[in-house]
Structures are given as structure tokens and as C-alpha cells.
């Protein structure tokens, strides 16, 4: 090992990607313990300001790291992410580790089993450094709905990190974790990825097992990775994707080696640019970045053309009927009987009602009521059934576009990260921040957000949308853009903290 | 008004939620503006459209009727706010 100053090592290690770190680990230039310590120290330094985590699993991480080092010393063959620090959104069950879903109603819940993705990361040798903050029950776009505290954006502490997986995005952006998993029901991976300047991929519905993921809206929820670059995204997807008999909505399809798509060649690729995603409500400066990205892709040999997805504006209202309807049913289980908070009452109904009233936050109650209303007798056809029909039309728009285009390119969000307090008192304004990401969930197709440029010191995210089970094309286009542009890897300065 | 304070109260009851007066007012107002926004769905002609409840072409996923390992009773009860004789304990029902 060559000589380096302790501080220097830590600073540089937390800035590296998983594939860079894997190589350093393999060549024994660093140890897993050293790498884990660097991340835990970084968490120690930054958490006062950023608050990306609900739980930091320092002891567990260090003991896992020691074990990995011992195995490496013995010359054992190690799995792909051996020694790499990762974090999980706190709605993924971890055996023996508190899993709150960002809610007071689950403040003390310790799952008796691991989510499929937690098990897979563990088998892949990853080191769990903690569980990430989120909007309660994944309902929100800023982490301001967390039952505990909001997470701050590493680029600007006055700005939200996005949500609902805001903790996961901020943790990766700030170098507190190399990779993190989030969940995406209407944009909850891609929107915070855009706001925090990292890669965030929502896989095809059914590509990743939801076993052990606390359900929000079951027909839309999907788990996916946050990473610092496209290569790490492919590595993480390799680990978590695949059929799982324990999730009956998991798709029985073969999983390719996603790193095979990381080729620096997109000549002749046809990319559609839906005009509905760049019109009214989209910050013109975001559109400038999008056009720059398109121009770069064209220079690399792709063809970018305008396309129309005419039902786009109806996706958001349809989503806010379907998702709350599913949530109202899914969240019926939080009643103070089996786990979590219980507030005593005179009889069982008052125990249920008191527990739920004190345990759930404002937005969760709003969506439970909205969903209950949309499903209630007399309103079912007008709201719920209507929304399901509109969902068909939204999906057909994409099907039609993909007859001609290999993938689509849009902004991920209408604007860069907004400030705390800007939208929290106006639910509809908050909902509209997911206007570019929601249609993708209704159609069940994959999409990836990647950084491309900055506006007023805050990262801009662009979104690549693909055909069902064609994550490969998104990785390929993203990789080519990353290899040929210096606008895709922003770094937060973390002024006043580092 | 699409939804009145009385409707909110009814929906809260169905949802097993108690609301304060302040909450009732807040939800009546915000739910109204959300439902108002949803009116734009009525501009879409969906007469000939089939609903999509689920995007995957999956139906009736069965497995062999074989015994699998399942959670120990002790583990399943570990998070229970109250338990007795290996069961979840709840307040009086009748």
C-alpha cells in the first residue's frame, strides 16, 4: 500500500464509485474495514446537517466489513459488491433492524425477516450502513412528510432533496453511501435523484421483487437503485433484479447481465422527445439542459425527434385516484394489533381509530381518505374505474411511441429542487412536481434519471424512458452520454460542513 | 363544493380516523381542490376503453401445495403491542 494521509484517504474514498472501489478492494489497496470506516466517519460529520438516515447500522457494518476482509485474506472468491457500503430506504424490511417507513406508527417495528432486496444485497457482499429517511409511507416529494425530520439537499441545505426516497438520494450524493435503494411509485426514485444530482433507476414493474417492501400502491411500487454513475446502476440492478416466487407480481423473465449494455455506442438509435413534457409548467432553464443533452446524443449518432403522448396531462389525476385507492386498502393493516404503535381505547374500534389518528401524519391521512372516497359506493365508477381506463390510454401512448423509438428523453422534474416550505401547504402543487415521472409508473415501464447540468447551483435531471424490460437501452444511452459529457457527474461542495 | 365537511367526517369514519375540527376543515378544503383538479379526466372519452388494474399479463399465480418454512410463532408475535397465550391480544370486541 502506498502512503496516504488518513484524512485524504477518507475524503477520496467516499467520492468513488462502486466499480472503482471494487478494484481497489480486489487489489488490496484498501480494506473493507477502511472503506466502511470512511463512510461511517463521513456520516458522522454530515448527518447533523443532512439527516439522510433514520438508523445508522455502524456496528453491523463494521462486523460485516471485518468478515469480508477475512474472507479476502483467505483467498475466497467474493461476490460482486463485496465490501461496498450501501443503504436502504426505510420501507424495506431488515431482519432485526428497525424499519419505520418514515412513520410514527412504525416507530418501533423490528422486522422478523429480510426483504428480498436486503437478502440479495447481503448475498452480494454489500455492507449495510443504514436505513434512509423518506416521506411517510413514500407519500411525498420532499421528505417534509417524514414522521421524524426532513432530509436536506447536499447541494443547498435550504433545498429539499426530493422524495419520497430523499434520504437515499442525499446519502449517495453526499458520499455517505456508495449505492442506495429507493422505491418509486410515482417518481420517488427519479425525482430525488434529479434533485440530488445522482443516477436513479425505476425498473420495469415486476423486474425487482417487492417481497418485504412496505406497500404503498401495489400495482405501481417498484424498487430501484441510486448510484453515482451508470456503471454502478447496472451493477446494482444485476444484484437486485430477478424473479422471486415470494412476490406473485414478480415477472418470470430472464435477467441479462446489465453491464453488457455499457458500450459507448448509440449510433442510429432513435430517441423520441415527447412535446407534452417540455411545455407549460416546465422551467425554461431545465429545457435548455434537456436540449443540450439531446444535441450531445445527436453528435454521438442518435436521432432525436419530437413525438406526442397525447394523454400525458391525464396521468397525474389518474395516479392520484389509483395510488390513494390502493393505499387506503394497504394501510388498513396499521391498526395497533400486530406491530407498531398502539393507543389504547375503550373498545376495539376506538383503539384502531386512536392508533391511526395519532400514528399517521397529515398527508397519509389525506391519501387514505381520498382513496376511501374514490372507492366508496356511488363514486367508484366516476373516479376509480375512470382512472383505470385513463391508465390504459396513457400506456397505449407509450406503446405507440415505442413502435418507432428505442427510448424517450424528457426532463425528470419541472424544476430543480425547491426550498423547504414552498409546497408543503399546497398538496396539489407538491403533486405536480411528479408530473414528468408519474406516467411511467402507470405504464409499468422502466425509466432512469441522470444529472445533466445545473440551474442556480442545483442539479438538473433528465429522464430516459424505455420499453418494458428494456432497462439495457436506458443504461446504454446513459452510459454513452456520461462518457461524452462532463455535465453528468456533479459534486456537492457541502459548504461550511467539510 | 364536491365534498362537504359531513362527507369528510363519513370518509374519516370509514378510514378509522378521528379528526379534530381543524383537520376536518383542512381536509375539506384540500380534498376539494384535489377533486376539482381531477375533473379534467371527464374530458377524456373512455367509453370504448378497457380498464388497466395491472400492467403485467399475469393471472392466478399458483404454487405447489407444499409446506414451506414459515415464521415461528414467537417471532411473529415479537412486535405485538400486547399478546397472551401465543395470540395477539386486543381490547373488548363485543
For A112, the closest of B55, B56, B71 (CB atoms) is B71
User: CA nearest A423: which of A150, A105, A47?
Assistant: A150
Residue B11 lies in a domain: yes
B46 touches chain A (CB under 8 A): yes
The model's confidence at residue B94, banded by pLDDT at 50, 70 and 90, is confident
- In A, which residues are within 8 Å of B56 by CB distance? 205-206, 249, 251, 444
Q: How many domains does chain B have?
A: 1
B81 touches chain A (CB under 8 A): yes
A200 touches chain B (CB under 8 A): no
Residue B13 lies in a domain: yes
Cβ contact, residue pair B52, A392, below 8 Å: yes
Please state, for a pLDDT cut of 70, what percent of chain A lies above it.
98
B1 touches chain A (CB under 8 A): no
A residues 392-431 closer than 8 Å to B (CB): 392-393, 395, 427-428, 431
**Looking at domain A6-310+395-483, does it have CATH number 3.90.1510.10?**
no
Q: How many CB pairs under 8 A join A and B?
A: 158
Cβ contact, residue pair B80, A337, below 8 Å: yes
For A368, the closest of B15, B26, B37 (CB atoms) is B15
This prediction has a pTM of 0.96
- CATH number for the domain spanning B18: value is 1.10.20.60
Residue in A with minimal Cα distance to B61: A248
Strands A303-307 and A270-274: parallel
Strands A199-202 and A458-466: unpaired
B16 touches chain A (CB under 8 A): yes
| Predicted confidence (pLDDT) per residue in A111-136, tens digit | 999 999 999 999 999 999 999 999 99
Which regions of chain A are under pLDDT 50? 1-11
Give 3-state DSSP helix, strand, coil % of chain A, rounded to 5: 45, 15, 40
A386 touches chain B (CB under 8 A): yes
Candidates B11, B22, B87, partner chain A, best to mutate (most A CBs within 10 A): B11
C-alpha pair distances (Å), A229 with each of A17, A120, A339, A357, A481:
7, 21, 38, 42, 11
| Predicted confidence (pLDDT) per residue in B69-87, tens digit | 889 999 999 999 999 999 9
A residues 439-498 closer than 8 Å to B (CB): 442-444, 468
- In A, which residues are within 8 Å of B7 by CB distance? 373
- Could you please report the per-residue DSSP string of A163-209? SSSHHHHHHHHTTS-SEEEEEESSSTTHHHHHHHTSEEEEPPTTSB-
| Predicted confidence (pLDDT) per residue in A162-208, tens digit | 999 999 999 999 999 999 999 999 999 999 999 999 999 999 999 99
> Measured between CA atoms, how close is A107 to chain B, in angstroms?
11
For B18, the closest of A347, A353, A383 (CB atoms) is A353
ipTM of the complex as predicted: 0.96
Residue in A with minimal Cα distance to B79: A339
> Measured between CA atoms, how close is A309 to chain B, in angstroms?
14
In contact, A404 and A307? CB cutoff 8 Å: yes
Residue B39 lies in a domain: yes
Q: For residue A395, what pLDDT is reported?
A: 98
C-alpha pair distances (Å), A493 with each of A63, A153, A174, A292, A497:
31, 11, 9, 24, 9
Residue in B with minimal Cα distance to A424: B30
**Residue A410 forms beta bridges with which residues?**
A463
Cβ contact, residue pair B27, A443, below 8 Å: no
Q: For residue B92, what pLDDT is reported?
A: 83
Residue B15 lies in a domain: yes
Cβ contact, residue pair B53, A219, below 8 Å: yes
DSSP state at residue A306 = E
Cβ contact, residue pair A342, B50, below 8 Å: no
A329 touches chain B (CB under 8 A): no
- Could you please report the per-residue DSSP string of A94-139? BTTB---TT-GGGTT---SS--HHHHHHHHTT-EEEEEE--SGGG-
In contact, A255 and A236? CB cutoff 8 Å: no
| Predicted confidence (pLDDT) per residue in A58-71, tens digit | 999 999 999 999 99
Range of the domain at B38: 5-43
3-class secondary structure per residue, B30-75: HHHHHHHHHHHHHHCCCCCCCCCCCCCCCCCCCCCCCCCCCCCHHH
DSSP state at residue A312 = H
Cβ contact, residue pair B56, A338, below 8 Å: no
Q: For residue A392, what pLDDT is reported?
A: 98
Q: For residue A1, what pLDDT is reported?
A: 37
Q: For residue A5, what pLDDT is reported?
A: 45
B28 touches chain A (CB under 8 A): no
Residue B17 lies in a domain: yes
Residue B56 lies in a domain: no
Residue in B with minimal Cα distance to A349: B16
Residues 6+ apart with CB under 8 A from A435: A281, A315, A316, A414
Residue B76 lies in a domain: no
Cβ contact, residue pair A357, B19, below 8 Å: yes
For B17, the closest of A251, A336, A353 (CB atoms) is A353
- In B, which residues are within 8 Å of A427 by CB distance? 30, 33-34
Task: Residue A295: count other Cβ atoms within 10 Å of its Cβ.
Answer: 11
Q: For residue B1, what pLDDT is reported?
A: 65
> Measured between CA atoms, how close is A397 to chain B, in angstroms?
13
Rounded to whole angstroms, the Cα distance separating A374 from A167 reads: 31
Domain boundaries, chain A: 6-310+395-483
C-alpha distance across the termini of chain B, in Å: 39
> Measured between CA atoms, how close is A338 to chain B, in angstroms?
5
In contact, A479 and A458? CB cutoff 8 Å: no
> Measured between CA atoms, how close is B41 to chain A, in angstroms?
6
| Predicted confidence (pLDDT) per residue in A13-59, tens digit | 999 999 999 999 999 999 999 999 999 999 999 999 999 999 999 99
Amino acid at each position: 500500500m502506498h502512503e496516504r494521509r488518513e484524512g485524504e484517504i477518507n475524503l477520496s474514498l467516499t467520492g468513488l464509485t462502486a466499480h472503482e472501489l471494487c478494484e481497489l478492494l480486489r487489489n488490496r489497496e484498501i480494506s473493507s474495514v477502511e472503506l466502511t470506516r470512511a463512510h461511517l466517519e463521513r456520516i458522522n460529520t454530515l448527518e447533523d446537517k443532512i439527516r439522510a438516515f433514520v438508523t445508522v447500522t455502524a456496528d453491523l457494518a463494521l462486523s460485516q466489513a471485518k468478515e469480508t476482509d477475512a474472507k479476502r485474506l483467505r483467498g475466497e472468491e467474493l461476490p460482486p459488491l463485496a465490501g461496498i457500503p450501501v443503504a436502504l430506504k426505510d420501507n424495506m424490511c431488515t431482519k432485526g433492524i428497525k424499519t419505520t417507513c418514515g412513520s410514527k406508527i412504525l416507530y418501533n417495528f423490528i422486522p422478523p425477516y429480510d426483504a428480498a432486496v436486503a437478502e440479495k444485497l447481503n448475498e452480494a457482499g454489500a455492507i449495510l450502513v443504514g436505513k434512509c429517511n423518506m416521506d411517510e409511507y413514500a407519500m411525498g416529494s420532499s421528505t417534509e412528510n417524514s414522521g421524524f425530520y426532513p432530509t436536506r439537499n447536499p447541494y443547498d441545505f435550504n433545498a429539499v432533496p426530493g422524495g419520497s426516497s430523499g434520504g437515499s438520494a442525499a446519502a449517495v450524493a453526499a458520499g455517505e453511501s456508495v449505492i442506495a435503494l429507493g422505491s418509486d411509485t410515482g417518481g420517488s426514485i427519479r425525482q430525488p435523484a434529479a434533485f440530488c444530482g445522482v443516477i436513479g433507476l425505476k425498473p420495469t414493474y415486476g423486474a425487482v421483487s417487492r417481497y418485504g417492501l412496505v406497500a404503498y400502491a401495489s400495482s405501481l411500487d417498484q424498487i430501484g437503485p441510486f448510484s453515482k454513475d451508470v456503471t454502478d446502476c447496472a451493477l446494482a440492478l444485476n444484484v437486485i433484479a430477478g424473479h422471486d416466487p415470494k412476490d406473485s407480481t414478480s415477472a418470470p423473465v430472464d435477467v441479462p447481465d446489465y453491464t453488457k449494455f455499457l458500450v459507448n455506442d448509440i449510433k442510429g438509435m432513435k430517441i423520441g422527445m415527447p412535446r407534452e413534457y417540455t411545455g407549460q409548467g416546465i422551467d425554461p432553464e431545465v429545457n435548455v439542459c434537456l436540449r443540450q443533452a439531446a444535441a450531445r446524443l445527436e453528435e454521438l449518432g442518435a436521432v432525436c425527434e419530437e413525438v406526442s403522448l397525447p394523454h400525458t396531462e391525464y396521468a397525474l389525476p389518474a395516479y392520484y385516484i389509483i395510488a390513494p385507492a390502493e393505499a387506503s386498502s394497504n394501510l388498513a393493516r396499521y391498526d395497533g394489533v400486530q406491530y407498531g404503535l398502539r393507543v389504547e381505547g375503550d373498545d376495539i374500534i376506538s383503539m384502531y381509530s386512536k392508533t391511526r389518528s395519532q400514528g399517521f401524519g397529515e398527508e397519509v391521512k389525506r391519501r387514505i381518505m381520498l382513496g376511501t372516497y374514490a372507492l366508496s359506493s356511488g363514486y367508484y365508477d366516476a373516479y376509480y374505474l375512470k382512472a383505470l381506463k385513463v391508465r390504459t390510454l396513457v400506456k397505449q401512448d407509450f406503446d405507440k411511441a415505442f413502435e418507432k423509438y428505442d427510448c424517450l428523453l424528457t426532463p425528470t422534474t419541472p424544476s430543480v429542487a425547491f426550498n423547504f416550505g414552498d409546497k408543503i401547504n399546497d398538496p396539489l402543487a407538491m403533486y405536480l412536481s411528479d408530473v414528468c415521472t408519474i406516467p411511467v409508473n402507470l405504464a409499468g415501464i422502466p425509466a432512469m434519471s441522470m444529472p445533466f447540468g445545473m440551474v442556480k447551483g442545483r442539479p438538473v435531471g433528465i429522464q430516459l424512458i424505455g420499453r418494458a424490460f428494456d432497462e439495457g437501452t436506458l443504461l446504454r444511452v446513459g452510459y454513452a452520454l456520461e462518457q461524452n459529457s462532463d455535465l453528468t457527474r456533479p459534486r456537492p461542495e457541502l459548504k461550511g460542513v467539510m | 363544493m364536491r365534498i362537504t365537511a359531513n362527507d369528510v367526517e363519513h370518509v374519516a369514519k370509514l378510514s378509522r380516523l378521528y379528526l379534530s375540527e381543524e383537520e376536518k376543515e383542512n381536509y375539506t378544503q384540500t380534498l376539494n381542490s384535489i377533486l376539482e383538479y381531477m375533473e379534467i379526466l371527464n374530458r377524456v372519452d373512455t367509453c370504448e376503453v378497457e380498464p388497466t388494474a395491472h400492467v403485467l399479463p399475469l393471472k392466478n399465480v399458483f404454487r405447489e401445495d407444499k409446506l414451506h418454512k414459515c415464521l415461528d410463532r414467537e417471532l411473529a408475535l415479537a412486535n405485538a403491542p400486547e399478546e397472551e397465550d401465543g395470540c395477539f391480544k386486543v381490547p373488548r370486541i363485543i
